[in-house]
Structure 1
Amino acid sequence: MNAAVVRASGEPPAGGTKKTERPLVVGVDGSEPSLRAADWAADEAVLRGVPLRVVYASLWERYEGTALAGEHKPSEEVRADDIVAVAARRVLKRHPDLEVSAEILAEEPEYALVREGRDASALVLGTRGRSGFVEMLLGSVSLAVAAYADCPVIVLRGGHDNHVGDATAHRVVVGVDESGKDSAAMRFAVEEARLRRAPLDAVRAWRCPAHESVDHPLLAGEPARLHEEQAVETLDEALKNAPADVDVHRRTVEGPARHVLLGASRGAGLLVVGARRRPGRLGLQLGRVAHGVLHHAACPVAVVPEPA
């Protein structure tokens, strides 16, 4: 379909792009949430020093067919051209020196965006698109892409502003799972905090199982203390390679991980969680925590795929 590399002039750069960095990809559909996501993605691309790729995907050809030679374009194709053109102009007005490419794909959005993610540094999506399922907390496209993409997927929650932030802006929060290893989610969160010059809050939720409670008053606090100590050790293991130039705050909080991270998302600029991909498993490749924060977080959420 249509593809172009544009700058502020609207013309392709001479000789084509010289950049070799994997682009940041943003999915647009003409809705205001997707245009705000494009703004946010443009800021993120500038921070990362990578090109921005604007993608619109739709199965319009199935319903209208392709234009015959000499005929006008189908109305949906004209609309698609307008959508990507508006998004590209908008981000170039915001960042005139940003390298921006735009493409229209006659495919289901979920499949097109997951495929785009194979060669992307990250995917950025709005909370919901233009479908009729307006009561859904998270659009089906965003949820499916977050579940299956090979790269980090950043979903812009409904209450966000359209700026990534700066040194005085918001914290980056990362949820630390039970493995305590130097995970892909932790590496992504550290890099985001460094780029934004923002503090990093590493959060480990812990719980004391009910069956471990004891009746003796002198021992009542012992099981809980042991679980909290394990949470501290898990955090220390996860952060053992954290660079000195990132302001890291360690937090252990008693409670279900989903609720703890939702609380931590208030006032944050980005919440980062990992999602383990399990080959051969049917259904969405998201755990309960990632699924929950995608629906309810108070800030943008980055879902980072982790190896099984």
Structure 2
Amino acid sequence: MDLPIVVGVDGSEPSVRAVDWAADEAALRGAPLRLVYGSLWDRYEGALLAQELHKPLEEVMARDVVGAAEERARCHRPEVKVTTEVLPEEPEHGLVRESGSALALVLGCRGRSGMAEALLGSVSLAVAGHAHCPVIVLRDSHDDQARTGVRGRIALGVGEQPAGSAAVRFAVEEARLRGVPLEAVRAWWQPAHATTGHREPARLQRQEALELLEEALRDAPAGLEVDRRTVEGHARDALIAVSREADLLVVGARRGHGHFGPRLGRVARAVLHHAACPVAVVPEPA
């Protein structure tokens, strides 16, 4: 059985754009598309229609949301097989469970103001922090195309993950399927005690960063164009900067544990909040 690309829908404009992105991704991978609606999501217009039809508001909303998303997906990518599901529970719990049998999960994040646009919705953050598969989050300002990106490159944040890590594999596959270069970025710090006249510690730190890049990408296919970049400074700043030139930024999530299972690290949280392109958070084994 082919694993689907799952997209969370709720009738909002960001979720509509997520449907387009997910449909493109499904077409790219030859995968089915599964549209999931959490029936306890925020209400939107529909109360009047529910009264007219003498049906529960939740039933009318579920039908409208899922039906509209399915029609859009079929029009956008007729070749993709589409299924739908209404989950009678909070979306974060339902989507995390769905992620256990998904190829990837796509979410659109709402932003109703300048401040909201700089932040990340609670559902998106919760799902990204606990899902079992890669989670792609799109904010309102992000491009909504997966197949034909505007900038023509995939960016990968390289942490301490070994060669063949889940994040590396995901980024390599995205770049290969799209036929675009992969830009792998590793940030490094100059030791605090180093001075301008003593660059040896900094040189060693940069060399170590280069070696980590080489190790992480040693299994990349020979035909894939890979650009390796080391950047002095905070990893979050380096990745946010590179996201301005990428169609997708991929980061690994080696998660800690909180009251609701694993949770995201600081770098992953930062790029989810502020990256200029969609972000794929790929869970790594503990």
Using structure 1 for the length normalisation, give the TM-score.
0.83
SS of 1:208's partner is coil
Listed as ranges, the matches of 1:58-73 within 5 Å are 58-59=39-40, 72-73=54-55
Listed as ranges, the matches of 1:248-259 within 5 Å are 248-259=226-237
Paired with 2:266 and 2:274, the residues of 1 have a C-alpha distance of 12
SS of 1:174's partner is strand
Report what 2:246 is aligned to.
Answer: 268
- Counting matched residue pairs gives 272
Report what 1:66 is aligned to.
Answer: none
Distance 1:204 1:136, change over 3 A: closer
The answer to whether residue 64 in structure 2 is matched with residue 82 in structure 1 is yes
Distance 1:167 1:37, change over 3 A: closer
| Amino acid paired to 2:242 | A
SS of 1:235's partner is helix
The answer to whether residue 271 in structure 2 is matched with residue 290 in structure 1 is no
| Amino acid paired to 1:234 | L
- Pick from 10, 31, 39 the counterpart of residue 29 of structure 1: 10
Listed as ranges, the matches of 1:103-142 within 5 Å are 103-128=85-110, 134=116, 137-142=119-124
Listed as ranges, the matches of 1:159-238 within 5 Å are 159-166=141-148, 169-211=151-193, 213-214=194-195, 217=197, 220-238=198-216
| Amino acid paired to 1:42 | A
Paired with 1:49 and 1:289, the residues of 2 have a C-alpha distance of 31
Report what 2:49 is aligned to.
Answer: none
Deviation at 1:214, TM superposition (A): 4.7
Contact 1:118 1:149 in 2 (8 A): yes
Report what 1:16 is aligned to.
Answer: none
| Amino acid paired to 1:124 | V
Report what 2:34 is aligned to.
Answer: 53
Paired with 1:135 and 1:240, the residues of 2 have a C-alpha distance of 37
Identity score, percent: 61
Report what 2:222 is aligned to.
Answer: 244
Deviation at 1:129, TM superposition (A): 7.8
Q: Residues 252-295 of structure 1: CA distance to partner in whole angstroms, max 9, x if unpaired? A: 111100000000000210000000134x5446610110000000
Report what 1:144 is aligned to.
Answer: 126
Deviation at 1:203, TM superposition (A): 0.5
Contact 1:206 1:254 in 2 (8 A): yes
Distance 1:281 1:76, change over 3 A: closer
Report what 1:9 is aligned to.
Answer: none
Q: Residues 90-127 of structure 1: CA distance to partner in whole angstroms, max 9, x if unpaired? A: 01011112100011111000000000000000000002
| Deviant stretches of 4+, over 6 Å | none
Contact 1:168 1:198 in 2 (8 A): no
SS of 2:78's partner is coil
Paired with 1:81 and 1:291, the residues of 2 have a C-alpha distance of 33
After TM superposition, the structure 1 stretch with the greater mean CA deviation from structure 2, 177-186 or 117-126, is: 177-186
Contact 1:167 1:198 in 2 (8 A): no
Contact 2:27 2:79 in 1 (8 A): no
Report what 2:50 is aligned to.
Answer: none
Runs of at least 5 residues in structure 2 that lack an aligned partner in the other structure: 42-52
Contact 1:29 1:129 in 2 (8 A): no
Deviation at 1:84, TM superposition (A): 0.6
Paired with 2:111 and 2:12, the residues of 1 have a C-alpha distance of 6
Q: Residues 221-250 of structure 1: CA distance to partner in whole angstroms, max 9, x if unpaired? A: 111101000001111101111101211111
Deviation at 1:135, TM superposition (A): 6.8
Contact 1:117 1:151 in 2 (8 A): yes
Paired with 2:62 and 2:144, the residues of 1 have a C-alpha distance of 23
| Amino acid paired to 2:38 | A
Give me the CA root mean square deviation: 2.0
Runs of at least 5 residues in structure 1 that lack an aligned partner in the other structure: 1-19, 61-70
Find the structure with the greater CA-based Rg. Answer: 1
Distance 1:122 1:229, change over 3 A: same
Contact 1:157 1:301 in 2 (8 A): no
Paired with 2:222 and 2:118, the residues of 1 have a C-alpha distance of 42
Paired with 2:15 and 2:244, the residues of 1 have a C-alpha distance of 22
| Amino acid paired to 1:290 | A
Paired with 1:248 and 1:55, the residues of 2 have a C-alpha distance of 35
Paired with 1:106 and 1:129, the residues of 2 have a C-alpha distance of 25
